[in-house]
Amino acid sequence: MSTKVAVALEKGRAAEAGRALAEQISTQLSGRVPALVALFPSPAQPLAEVMAAFRAALPGAPGVAPPVVIGASTAGEFTDAGDASGAVSAFAVAGDFRVFGGMGRPLRGNVEAAVAQALADIPTELAGYPYRTALLFIDGLVGVGEEATLITAALLGPGVRLCGGCAADDWLLQATAVGCNDQVSGDALSLAIVFSKQPLGIGVFHGHQPMSDAMTITRSRENVVYEIDGQPAWDVFVEKTRARAMAEGIDPSTLHGNSDILQYFLKYETGIKTGPEFRIRMPLVRNDDGSMGFVCGMPEGTPIHFMASDAQSQVASAKAAARRAREQLAGKAIAGALVVDCGCRKLILRDRFGDAVKEMAAELGSVPIAGFESYGEIALNDDDFSGFHNTTTVLLAFPVDDGEDASAAT
């Protein structure tokens, strides 16, 4: 059964967009029922309405299981044809896959139980399909991205690779949502397990470089950092980023209000060194006491660096993520890819964001890609100890079946 990927971007209102996307996906797949569909709507298009309309409108087929439909709210939507805001992007794949999905909630104070709930009805193995890849979406405002990723990996066991990201809400920082089939919720996670006969390719890269030596988190609680090297976290952050910011025409002393500070956080990040590379950690809020809230846990004793990047590095990093996914597939042609890209990268790239998306598609062989801008990215390969990222491109590539050519798959 040939692998075929379909992608679409729709700017209509929620239910209208869901129906239009179903029609586009069905047309691109020549009427075949996809095994997996991922929907990524702006918060202006309620996820529950989009998913319900899409599932109702997508044609089925006798004897064919309906697709697992998962989704997450976004900070931006895109395909290889372009990017948008206030729209819905869709990714669908048809082929010889078996896909199972689940939801778990609440997340707050209950992460392990939520993961177990999502996995409850998903088999641990399937004869004839030796490879398992998990696609995981998490409420981006709960602050448990890394914990949820690691617990999911532990409960799935060895040999299962993860990718995905944190739902977003256009930087409103009010509410995000994830969904699976007929369930949509905040304070939740959703996942789909793809059983395949061939391994899928996962690429990840961020393009940031350190602009400080390591400092140490000396006081924190969960995802809130109070002190770095014994000083208020915000004061240290400003001190270490001031020279770079001033050189780029930004004076930290003029930042007023949550919006200004958020924009500053989106441009300058922190990083944790893991082996030869860094994992980026993004602050989201500055609190009145000078502490900073992150999108994942930041334990006391963690060494952190202050990081920065530029547009050229971000375009190059997107291409590098695609190249890493392609290299994992050992020369197999690629049918298409799903991409989770941090919303911060749009601020750095501005009108070059589309260039980065096109570079990814070209690196994979000019194939269809679709995805969303997130509040955190997930990519956990076999040799990783932490699969949670910020300001990073994560890409899941689907190879064509053995014996196919790329043109037949796309």
Sign of the torsion angle spanned by Cα atoms 367, 373, 378, 379: positive
Question: 89-117: per-residue pLDDT in tens?
Answer: 999 999 999 999 999 999 999 999 999 99
Domain boundaries, the chain: 4-206+312-409, 209-308
Taking Cα atoms as reference points, which of 239, 230, 240 lies closest to residue 300? 230
The H helix count followed by the E strand count for the chain is 10, 27
3-state secondary structure (DSSP) of residue 347 = helix
| β-pair partners for 165 | 137, 377
Residue found under tokens 């397990």 = 193
The pLDDT value given to residue 295: 77
Q: What is the sign, positive or negative, of the torsion defined by CA atoms of 390, 94, 355, 200?
A: positive
Residues in the chain with pLDDT values less than 50: 382-386, 404-410
Closest to 320 (Cα-Cα) out of 362, 349, 351, 280: 362
Yes or no: say if 162 and 380 are a contact pair by the CB < 8 Å rule: yes
> Which tokens sit at 32?
């075949």
Report the predicted TM-score, pTM, of the whole model to 2 decimal places. Answer: 0.83
pLDDT digits (tens, 9 = 90+) for 350-366: 777 788 888 889 999 99
pLDDT confidence of residue 204: 85
- Give 339's Cβ-side CA count (13 Å radius): 35
Q: How far apart are CA 3 and CA 398, in angstroms?
A: 8
